[in-house]
Structure 1
């Protein structure tokens, strides 16, 4: 639940979608739209579109751009990869790491993700660390401990003082993708609380990461998901790939902040 002193994060990863022309059309519409001060929007294009998207954004745009992945090495013989330095040079200020698709299909481990988190921080990129449990873990009641362990492992190489610069996106595997089942706030809240506790233990109670939720998010359920006490924003898939959907989700985020601030002022 955003407390009014921090913006609500609304962002999307385009995954392996959008040509340069399609990316340009989205960014142009986004640049022309009013963006509420209470919302921090971000977009993660494919590597091919990152520099072009940066070039089309006004210099003073609040929209943040990120890469969907990058290697931990500064340079070298890593065919098909890009480095954190290259991502930053192309316009990224953040980088997505540890998505379940990367873990499943590209054999990424907690250890490689931790190396990438440390490399991102070394290059002043905000790591957006994805965590989430599969169905079988949820069914046996171990979601909180499973995800907390993922968070602890991913941040193992980060200095305690830099952990607060990270973003954590909770994306339960059973809720993401075309066949994902939308989660309720009741299902999300305990895991978000466990993530917050894990981060607090790593930082000694210092600056907390912003915690995002992702997984079958839509305009219809966004407000409910934002009511989860530890949720600072939403990491959205298909519902935000169309510019109208993205703008609608930003409006939901802004409305959530307004309602929350009003309730706090009445206390």
Structure 2
């Protein structure tokens, strides 16, 4: 059995005070049943410590994740944040390769791979994003595209290292658009991702790795998506900005 995961990607939203209020609202909804789900909150970098402090004070078993990192330990990389810096404030997960990072900041698979390798070396869980544009989807080459992206992002990892990672499938055409892949469409890709992981690292490792869906999951569609055999949770955008809607998603994993 793979433990479900719900990771809230707050993107570039919420001030310091708003992040505290949102984290507190989620913490207030948390109860012992949530122990069956890995819950991860990924606020903007400037609010990571504040969110961690709320959860630590409330003694909640909720993880704090970063939205990005640099693979170097330190140096002349203005504006970047190192993994040791993140660890020092309680971060234990990190999103890498999000489509917005790839599109707006020209991140390549090589860069994503270096981040994955560095995170694993530090014992921080990478949430590795892969997904296709509408053009690739319409061309019918999306499975090949996504599996190639996956292989590049995981290049050089040993099976025991890959086992510590999480994959998030984010159809780019369904992010922030209100459009959602049908449960069957999402399952097709998540199944192909697991098959590619099996080819790379063996069936035992692949069967234990979690694959999240990251395209406009919300309370209205979560049950259908979570019913799919290869979908183990969500990387949540808009619905993570409300304590009530995010809590509903977590609680959907308990049904």
2:27 corresponds to 1:28: no
User: Is 1:210 aligned to residue 210 of structure 2?
Assistant: yes
TM-score, normalised via structure 2 length: 0.94
Unaligned residue ranges in structure 2 (runs of 5+): none
* CA-to-aligned-CA distance 1:26-65 (integer Å, 9 cap, x gap): 1122222233232221110110010111111137422111
Cα shift at 1:107: 0.6
> How far apart, CA to CA, are the structure 2 residues paired with 1:12 and 1:77?
30
Query: 1:202 & 1:56 partners in 2: Cα distance?
Result: 39
SS in 1 for 2:14: coil
Determine whether 1:7 maps to 2:32: no
Alpha-carbon RMSD? 1.3
Please list every run of 5 or more consecutive structure 1 residues that lacks an aligned counterpart in the other structure: 256-267
- Superposed displacement of residue 224, structure 1: 0.5
Whole-angstrom distance in 1 between the partners of 2:216 and 2:27: 26
Of 164, 186, 189, 1:188 maps to 186
* Residue of structure 2 in register with 1:261 after alignment: none
**Runs of at least 4 residues of structure 1 off by over 4 A?**
none
Q: How many residues align?
A: 250
Q: How does 1:48-67 map to 2 (within 5 A)?
A: 48-58=46-56, 60-67=59-66
3-state DSSP class of the match of 2:203?
A: coil
Q: Distance in 2 between matches of 1:120 and 1:17?
A: 24
1:86 CA displacement: 0.9
Note the alpha carbon deviations across 1:136-164, whole angstroms, 9 max, x for none.
11112111111111111101032221101
TM-score, normalisation: structure 1 = 0.90
- 3-state SS in 1 of match to 2:17: helix
Higher deviation after alignment, 141-150 or 168-177: 141-150
Tell me the CA shift for residue 82 of structure 1: 0.4
